Amino acid sequence: MPQLERFLLTKLHCGTSSLKSSTKNNLLPVRAKSQCSAIAIDAPSSLTDVDGIRWGSASLQGPREEMEDDIIIRSDGLDGFSFAGVFDGHGGISSVKFLRDELYKEFVAALQGGLLLSGKDFNVIRNAIKEVFEDVDAKLLNWLETIGEEDESGSTATVMFIGKNVLIISHIGDSCAVLSRSGKAEVLTDSHRPIGSNKASLQEIRRIREAGGWIVNGRICGDIAVSRAFGDVRFKTKKNEMVQKGVEEGRWSEKFGSRVQFNGDLVIASPDVFQVALGSDVEFIILASDGLWDYMNSSDAVNFVRNQLRQHGDVQIACEELARTALDLRSQDNVSIVIADLGQTDWQTLPLQQQNLFYELGQAFATVDYVGSNPGHLPDFKMMTLFGCGALLLRGAGCTINDLIDRDIDTKVERTKLRPVASGLLSPFQGRCFLGFQLLLGLGILLQLNDYSRILGASSLLLVFSYPLMKRLTFWPQAYLGLTFNWGALLGWSAIKGSLDPAIVLPLYMSGVFWTLVYDTIYAHQDKEDDLKVGVKSTALRFGDSTKEWITGFGIACISSLALSGVNANIAMDLLDLVVVTVNNCRGSYLKMISMQCKQDLDLLRFRQVFIGVFLVEFSSLMSVISWPNEALSLFCELQARKREPTDVNLLSILSSCALLGALDLGRWIHEFVIVFTCHLLLCVG
């Protein structure tokens, strides 16, 4: 059903192919008429100028009536550099077609076939690129005015030049370039939108108002949502005609129109240009339209691509899956993506991320932090170190025991067949020796604690050794895993206090159990077919089509239990940061569902938008109430990006934050929002 629903929603007709570069001009085309087009360049020889880069590209039409995006990748004409760009059109396809044909040719001429890029004088390079953008925009405006019809199309553009050790980005609009550096996402561009409280947005708002324009609901003259773009003649050469047309259509009064005095273009094509050094830690670069970034943040996108490349190493497949996932997350826009893998990472040997381990460490640290420190003092560093090492050793011992007991099953499961014991890399005897070494180190840590904690810690071994058997006995092995891996919540308290306070530590412990049920149920969906073959059980098989409802409940129970623990311990506000970390971990876990290649289960990810959106609605108000106005405004902007409708309480709280920060522009915009949506509030922003 999810596939059929997506097909009916987007009319998606996707044909993927591996296209070799043209022998004539090395143009790597994306077919403009196709609703899903793709480029696959698997061999470094496809791009002879830049060794090692592997490219992937996908352009999918969302629920829009017309596909107005386009992509270009070129490997010729710029000696030692490759070029790629994403164009996100609006108001028609004319501007995008013009840019596709003209922009790169102008770059080749202005950059002297790549000589300027190789010259390493960045000021010269930046000036040349800016001049190209402005010249091409002037030619486009002239062409749009002479084609004999009223064409109001425009297009954003985010382009990059990749050399051996350097990346140069030129950008206008709301597409985005993101770089993965050792798995960490680095956002390289700012969105040119006249909304928000960040520096780039405030600069755009100021520029537009100085040019004589006005902003309504984050749109210039209540019309366009981007402040920098090619084309858009009505905001450049035909501004007065646009005002007169607005009067005729009743969008504003004649008196208002007569007062408008323009001092410059409202939408400009002046790009942000900058360069980034490409060290050995840079893995890949993602260029994508806002159809992706409005529904998936940069960290989630980088993690998704990394997980895809770990699985199969195919950049093209990773790119296509990322685009499809944006549509599965209900993107209402077209989605265009280019990924450049620099070929510096051995994806087959890169270890999988273990996000849940950091939550378990944080949970133990949170317990030790509260019970082991006095107000105004740091927690006991010795205890923090002991519990950090203990969490690593307990988890490692559990994994070793699991691999030893399940080695026969692991050989039959695709995801686990390469584990050290199952694959034969280690013999069972070597595995047992390693387990003994882990337990010996764990014993050394345990002996540093009080007698009560020694007994409590030793008793966890019963859970650790019996966990691998649970998948043979019950459909709830994930719950048993939660009881095992979250034992540190109990141990941390007893190590300091010498006993347990059930009202505090049990809710904390159970929050970890519920969290484990969330992420391990998602992992279990990878193995459903294999589990049925070998006859083992899991919550994924138990929940079936009801998984979405179950993990929704577990996520809410996790956060509620964590909050209850803080309330009982009288540290509710101190525990707020850990609640935020928990929510972000939940967000990441829901995104992991995407990379399982279980397409029938992708609709579970839609829960993420609802759950996180509802949380942000109330959390933004809380931030304002406790006098964190910057955080409140940031969360409110994220609400708008996620297209979540704010409540009356949110609007009042955010207006209070605007007052505290003196953010008058944003306050006026929120006031306009209140008026447009007929919220009955007695508000006045001066």
Is residue 174 over pLDDT 80? yes
What does the alpha-carbon distance between residue 641 and residue 392 come to, in Å, rounded to a whole number?
38
Please state the rounded mean pLDDT for residues 24-37: 37
Write out pLDDT tens, residues 54-75: 999 999 998 888 899 999 999 8
Task: At 404, list the tokens.
Answer: 């030893």
120, with CB counted inside 10 A (0-12, 13-18, 19+), is: exposed
Residue 675 has a pLDDT of 56
Q: Are 304 and 14 in contact (CB under 8 A)?
A: no
The CA-atom distances, in angstroms, between 262 and each of 76, 238, 493 are 42, 11, 66
Residue 43 has a pLDDT of 32
335-341 and 282-288 strand pairing: antiparallel
Residue 269 has a pLDDT of 95
> What three-state secondary structure class fits 187?
strand
Most confident of 5-19, 158-172, 365-379, 624-638: 158-172
Q: For residue 678, what pLDDT band results from cuts at 50, 70 and 90?
A: very low
Task: At 663, list the tokens.
Answer: 């953010």
Range in 246-260, 450-464, 665-679 with the lowest mean pLDDT: 665-679
- DSSP single-letter state for residue 197: S
Most confident of 379-388, 541-550, 640-649: 541-550
Residue 120 dihedral angles phi and psi, to the nearest 5°:
65, 15
What's the CA angle centered on 108, arms 105 and 114, to 5 degrees?
165
- Residue bearing tokens 């994930």: 478
- DSSP single-letter state for residue 43: S
Please state the rounded mean pLDDT for residues 386-414: 79
More confident residue, 166 or 505: 166
Give the pTM.
0.54
More confident residue, 222 or 647: 222
- DSSP single-letter state for residue 647: P
Write out pLDDT tens, residues 342-357: 998 888 877 655 444 4
| Average pLDDT for the chain | 76
Is residue 77 over pLDDT 50? yes
Range in 23-37, 185-199, 465-479, 490-504 with the lowest mean pLDDT: 23-37
Write out pLDDT tens, residues 577-623: 555 555 555 544 444 444 443 333 344 434 444 444 444 444 444 44
Q: For residue 373, what pLDDT band results from cuts at 50, 70 and 90?
A: very low
Task: At 489, list the tokens.
Answer: 């919540």
Q: For residue 212, what pLDDT band results from cuts at 50, 70 and 90?
A: very high
Q: Give which of 614, 627, 615, 679 is closest to 653, Cα–Cα.
A: 627
Residue 511 has a pLDDT of 85
The CA-atom distances, in angstroms, between 454 and each of 360, 400, 504 are 19, 22, 20
Range in 60-69, 212-221, 342-351, 677-686 with the lowest mean pLDDT: 677-686
Count of residues making up the chain? 686
More confident residue, 131 or 411: 131
Please state the rounded mean pLDDT for residues 319-334: 89
Please state the rounded mean pLDDT for residues 228-256: 91
Q: Are 271 and 171 in contact (CB under 8 A)?
A: yes
Query: How crowded is the C-beta side of 443, counted as CA atoms within 13 Å?
Result: 6
Is residue 363 over pLDDT 60? no
Q: For residue 656, what pLDDT band results from cuts at 50, 70 and 90?
A: low
Is residue 110 over pLDDT 50? yes
Residues ≥6 apart with Cβ < 8 Å to 536:
409, 471, 472
Write out pLDDT tens, residues 39-56: 333 333 333 335 589 999
- Residue bearing tokens 């649970």: 470
Residue 278 has a pLDDT of 92
Q: Are 617 and 547 in contact (CB under 8 A)?
A: no
Q: For residue 27, what pLDDT band results from cuts at 50, 70 and 90?
A: very low
Task: At 592, list the tokens.
Answer: 């992991």
Range in 21-30, 191-200, 294-303, 306-315 with the lowest mean pLDDT: 21-30
Please state the rounded mean pLDDT for residues 625-648: 55
Q: For residue 319, what pLDDT band results from cuts at 50, 70 and 90?
A: very high
Neighbours of 564 (CB within 10 A): 18
More confident residue, 466 or 271: 271
Residue 627 has a pLDDT of 42
Alpha helix positions (H), 20-121: 94-110, 115-119
Query: Percent of the chain having pLDDT more than 90?
Result: 28
133, with CB counted inside 10 A (0-12, 13-18, 19+), is: buried
Alpha helix positions (H), 161-223: 199-210
Q: For residue 564, what pLDDT band results from cuts at 50, 70 and 90?
A: confident
Please state the rounded mean pLDDT for residues 205-231: 91
